[in-house]
A = this chain, B = another copy of it.
Amino acid sequence: MSNNQFKRGELYSVINGIASTAVARRLQKNFRNAGLEITIEQWSILYHLWKEDGLSQQELCMCTFRDKASITRLIDNIERLGLVERIASKDDRRVNLVYLTDAAKPLQEATYNLANQTMNEALQGISKEEIEIVKSVFQRVYENSK
């Protein structure tokens, strides 16, 4: 990245996710500075498991908008860190359910706080109405493009 200007005139930059990438990188940096040795992609998995533990890989595909190969390897890495484990479903032997381990617990509060703080910084000076419009526009852009 670096010393750059976000060109106001260019919708290209917006759609291309320049701002999103900047926020993501900032969050990653904040994790690192706090001594949290996980990537934001790994965190996005943990985030959903903290909301509901024991999701299948397929369900994680859907709630993180990734394909199944990406989830396979993300889970591989998070499992290697000892933060989750795969447990085969009894109902359907094709399915792996992904469960948090005790080692993941201490991460929850710290990462939530950093994520909230990062988001608040990112949204400084932006009104609730503007945020609602952005959400609504991106909802439609997503529906138009998926």
State the A residues within 8 Å of B (CB).
1-6, 8, 11-26, 44, 61-63, 65-67, 118-119, 121-126, 130-131, 133-146
Contacts and interface: CB of A to CB of B under 8 A. Distances in A.
Contact of A16 (B26, B44, B61, B124): B44
Copies of this protein in the assembly total 2
A88 to B, nearest CB: 23
Given A1-B65, A65-B1, A145 B133 contact: no
Sort A-B residue pairs by CB-CB distance and give the 7 closest, nearest first.
Answer: A17-B20, A17-B17, A19-B142, A19-B138, A6-B142, A22-B145, A19-B141
Contacts of A121: 144-145
Given A1-B67, A67-B1, A137 B130 contact: yes
